[in-house]
Structure 1
Amino acid sequence: MRSTAVRRAALAASTAAFALLVTACGGGSGDDGKHEGGSSAAPEATPAAKALTAAELEKAALAQADVTSGKVTTKVPAGDPVAQDEVTTDDEACAPLAYAQAGTYAGTPAATARRSWLGEPKKPAEGASAEESVLATLDIESVALTLSSYEDGGAEKAMKDLGTAAEKCAGGFTYTADGSETEVLSVVTTEAPKGGDEGLAVTMAIDVEGDKAPMKVVVVRKGATVAYFPAMNLASAASGKDFTFPAQVVEAQVAKLG
């Protein structure tokens, strides 16, 4: 274990994306499942789905009863996450990924709803050092969920733009969210989630004090609604090791969208 791991975790927590996901969540317990592979392709053209209203999105958004573990927060604090216009990139082609990672949305939705999910910290091993005990308390997956409903094919365009960004920005990019700069070193497309009309999953390696730390984003389209699931784990930020994406959050939300 690196002697600077705890300090790196604190630095990671101070970046816009990490701070967003930590402050947007409450307490609770975590879960399982990992996505690896590629993005799912859109099906053949079908009649455009109707955009959901804000009230309909709130009704369709994740609730505590929909998950088997972890805590769902339905009242996300004001100012979390950052607004789309507070996110800028050094390469406009990468903007959709920057928006998703920062906890906002691509394109211009007609309505949105916010939720967050927080897992449960792992217990330190018997005889663990003070540093190992601190890292155990940080070993928590968290997800900042945004549901966005689009009119006139906007959902399909958002997915297309995200897929294009994942390809064009595989070598990395830099973005600024709410005044804090994050350097993305690489973008790797992993296995898309099932159950929606389209899906995309990526793992981004971001720079934390000269080392790499993983961040993950899963996006699913169901009809005219796009669900964004940026996820992180502070212990992984400290160690640089990969973490398991909490698939139950995606599965529960997609199932609720019908």
Structure 2
Amino acid sequence: MSSNTVASRLAFAASAASFALLLTACGGDGSDGARTGPAGAAKDKSTTAGPSDDDAPPPPDAAALKGMLVKAEDVPDFLAPPGGAKETEEIFSRDAQTFFSSDKPACQALSGSMLATPQGAPRAAAGTVGVRGTGELGDKKPEKAAGLEDGLEKAFGAMADLRMEVVSLSSYEGDGAQSVIDGYKEAVRKCGKGFTIDATEDGKKALETVQSGGSGEAGQQDGPMPVVSLKPVPVDKGDDAAAWVLKVGEDALTLPINVVAVRKGPVVVTVSSTSFDFSGSGKPPLDVAQAQLDKLTGVS
């Protein structure tokens, strides 16, 4: 494999997963669900919304969702960061669906699925990021690289053993949660031939804040990312669910990202899983989704 090919694969993998990598490095175990924007002050809007039915309890607020997020001990080989970081709160905010856009309006609901960003108009939201495959890496002894090309190849090989899995929880009034699942299903039906994902101005600002660690000294994010294909995946969990695999990239170089979204009552659990082996052999992160469903206490 030529050095240009190896470098291109590494660059593409880093581009496709940069958002998840940044979140993992910074912590990112949740949001107060009420940030007004990347540079805005926190303003808790969740307490103003009432339940959709007089006899029904209100959907969980941001603090409750954050407390129910999966942790490292809940999923085998799931290395979740201890604690959160204020810089990452925007990524899992109730406004996160505005951070990404699609060139096809019908595919807008899927534009943030790489990061499992909450969709619709949630009352509150929270999220976390896990790295899997580190146990496999721990059993390997580092090998000395013969040169730049060999070093890049070994680096890519190590990266190929890792998976980044992003988990978000979002709660909704009324039939908002079901509307999100229905929207996913419709978008999956219409977008099988692909579309393009881009970050909006608000999204770029939020991601730059994460990248810079709050210092404001980060470069611009990469340009639009092509989704070359998308296929539905059968799933039967919760009250209703949708799952799909999308391949991002260009030409023969694509990276599969598996996403599953499950509704339980007024809460939507969304999990995206990115594997960097380029084989397309990744599977829907159903074990993570089930572990997260099991932690939704008091939700029905």
Calculate the TM-score normalised by the size of structure 1. Answer: 0.79
Letter in 1 for 2:274: M
1:193 shift after superposition = 4.9
2:172 counterpart residue number: 150
Q: Deviations over 1:95-143 (max 9, x none)?
A: 1111222431210100011111111344469989645532232020111
2:291 counterpart residue number: 252
Q: Give 1 or 2 for the bigger CA radius of gyration.
A: 2
Residues 76, 116 of structure 1: 8 Å contact kept: no
Q: Which of 179, 191, 203 matches 2:245? A: 203
Q: Deviations over 1:217-258 (max 9, x none)?
A: 11111110001111212232xxx4432444332121011115
Residues 24, 144 of structure 1: 8 Å contact kept: no
CA–CA distance in structure 1, aligned partners of residues 7 and 91 of structure 2? 25
Secondary structure of 1:116 counterpart: strand
Letter in 1 for 2:235: A
Q: Which of 215, 226, 247 matches 2:268? A: 226
Letter in 1 for 2:158: T
1:31 counterpart residue number: none
Residues 48, 224 of structure 1: 8 Å contact kept: no
CA–CA distance in structure 2, aligned partners of residues 2 and 210 of structure 1? 15
CA–CA distance in structure 2, aligned partners of residues 209 and 102 of structure 1? 23
Structure 2 vs 1, CA of residues 20 and 160 (structure 1 numbering), >3 Å: closer, same or farther? Answer: same
Alignment of 1:54-93 (within 5 A): 54-73=62-81, 74-75=83-84, 78-79=87-88, 81=91, 83-93=96-106
CA–CA distance in structure 2, aligned partners of residues 49 and 13 of structure 1? 43
| Consecutive unaligned residues in structure 2, runs of 5 or more | 27-54, 205-220
1:119 counterpart residue number: 132
CA–CA distance in structure 1, aligned partners of residues 2 and 79 of structure 2? 30
User: What number of residue pairs does the alignment pair up?
Assistant: 234
Secondary structure of 2:165 counterpart: strand
CA–CA distance in structure 2, aligned partners of residues 156 and 49 of structure 1? 17
1:109 counterpart residue number: 122
1:206 shift after superposition = 1.3
Residues 258, 283 of structure 2: 8 Å contact kept: no
| Consecutive unaligned residues in structure 1, runs of 5 or more | 28-46
1:7 counterpart residue number: 8
Residues 176, 266 of structure 2: 8 Å contact kept: yes
2:154 counterpart residue number: 133
1:88 shift after superposition = 1.3
1:216 shift after superposition = 1.3
Structure 2 vs 1, CA of residues 111 and 2 (structure 1 numbering), >3 Å: closer, same or farther? Answer: farther
CA–CA distance in structure 2, aligned partners of residues 154 and 51 of structure 1? 11
CA–CA distance in structure 1, aligned partners of residues 76 and 6 of structure 2? 31
CA–CA distance in structure 1, aligned partners of residues 282 and 86 of structure 2? 26
Q: Deviations over 1:40-65 (max 9, x none)?
A: xxxxxxx9774111121112111223
Residues 8, 208 of structure 1: 8 Å contact kept: no
CA–CA distance in structure 2, aligned partners of residues 172 and 150 of structure 1? 29
CA–CA distance in structure 2, aligned partners of residues 160 and 99 of structure 1? 16
1:146 shift after superposition = 1.1
Give percent identity, aligned residues only: 27
Calculate the TM-score normalised by the size of structure 2. Answer: 0.69
Residues 9, 235 of structure 1: 8 Å contact kept: no
Residues 234, 242 of structure 2: 8 Å contact kept: yes
2:19 counterpart residue number: 20
Q: Which structure dedicates a bigger proportion of its chain to helix?
A: 2
